[in-house]
Structure 1
Amino acid sequence: MTEPELHRLLSKLPLLRQEIGKVIVGQAEVLDEVLVALLAGGHALLEGVPGLAKTLLVRTLAAATDLSFRRIQFTPDLMPTDILGTEVLEEDHATGKRSFEFVRGPIFANLVLADEINRTPPKTQAALLEVMQEFEVTYAGQTHPLPDPFFLLATQNPIEQAGTYPLPEAQLDRFLLYVRIGYPSEAEELAILQNTTGTAHGQPQPVIGAEELRELRQLVREVNISPELLGYITRLVRATRPQGSPVKFVQDYGRWGAGPRAGQALVLCAKARALLHGRFAATLDDVRTLAAPVLRHRVLLNFQAEADQLTTDDAVRALLQHFPTP
């Protein structure tokens, strides 16, 4: 890639932010994490109370990219075939011969929104395991590749737990990032009221296509990360495991720690964040900033932690305090 082509490609990232900013007010950290997942080639789970624009953020991202987009509303009666697709009996009118043809489901898109993913039973949630890891669908012994790039964004809210089905650890681990969305600041909330209750509405324009996103994802892998930072990430991830962890919080409250996939995720996310900020080398700040969204769903605490009202975010804070530098 020539230098002018590289600059043209990187100039798309601030433009993408700008287009999303026409609709989404504030939430800079959340947007950063979603874009990191997009660039790193992983999936993201967005959690926040109703009304924090989780669905709107995904729809706006879809509008600002020239990618195919589908939204799937997860409900208790949703079946795996409603997501993946199914076979139907087709007849050739010329010959009269009948055969089964696979009709693709809504999962066959570049950008898929799995809205309220925890409202569907485990049987249907499990339909996403192969999709998220292998980027393909196997049905009736035939494998159907998903579009490239493929990016799944799922939403859930932490309240109204009646009628929901918690995501199993195996599926949570498929998400590159677990993004928590908080309330906006007072100034941001005022801007939201001004922007959404009048007649003027921002309309984002697509600035990045599928080919450019593929090139950016390849570029992410070429971002430099030092051996010292790789060692730091290795120690950080291994310290999440209660057996032999040097961190007292993990010794007292840890049940299960993160696996090697967490280290891979943290490296890729640090590289993606560096590129997002116009750098070609990942830094300690990149790693520490993304440690919580990478690790919070890959660490399991014991019952004592629950009784003491401690969370996996508290565990990540304890880890970062124990390992301030590489």
Structure 2
Amino acid sequence: MESPVPIRVLIVDDEERFRRTTETILRKRGFVVGSASDGLQALDTLGRESFDVVVLDLKMPGKDGNEILREMKQRHPDLQVILLTGHGSYDAAVAGLRRGAFYYLSKPCDIDVLVDRIREAFARKESLAEAERRVRDIMVPLSELSRIREDRPVAEAVEILAQSFAKAAAGSLLAETVHRTVLVLDHRGSVVGVLSFQDLLRALQPPYLRRALEKPYPPEAVALEPPSHAGMFTVMTQEVLKRPVRELMSAVPPLIDSEANLMEAAGRMLVLRAPRLLVVEAEKPVGVVREQDLFFEIVRILREQG
């Protein structure tokens, strides 16, 4: 969608030829373009001028690109950042998405694709699709989520999950209200991880089975494997229940801004292979959006059409 006002773009890259070429092309496409040769210069420029979208190369001399991204988002939360990555930089790009980048592209990138991503980033910033619901509208507020301290035994977390299911069954609550994950907090009350069913199942596996799970396991091998684990489930469960939650929990889910649109949430879940995202406002956690929240939004749209 074309913007009625020029989109202001800042190109941050240490390759002068790339900067000049990209600036020239983007100006011809109607953008207002600035440039910086490194992250510190970019931060200084952003402190003096207003930009809608930043195109940031992750690999530059000096400060790491993701560190610059973090500082940009801290100082300018609404700023949309598109990352440029070189060959073999997938992990760094994913880390950038977790820190709130809008999108990433591999260098060299098609200029038409870059232009499209810039316009999409601007559309998100300007909320051009006001009628569509945002992440904040479908998330589960932090106050409604099950929580536990990281130093508490796993048995307490299991009881919390069991109570969630019991309440749902007793009150005939909709399926999307059942929380299958417990947020894990440190002694300051900050979110430090999550404990899910998958974490419990992983912990139940004896060490030799855990090693086997790390390698590809042919389906026929599973089908032919004799039942040699009699009684082990109970034994392992009793052991796991005594362990502190911190030993089983998964990392903090990837972050997403509460103002983000639902397509961005869906895309981030797919790219990061994350079933849930931690929703933040001004870097403070305010809720969680899960796969099932997006699914029930699909159901809502379907029924509204009918």
User: Which TM bucket (shorter chain)?
Assistant: 0.3 to 0.5
Alignment TM-score, normalising by the size of structure 1 = 0.34
Question: Which of 1 and 2 has greater Rg?
Answer: 2
Alignment TM-score, normalising by the size of structure 2 = 0.35
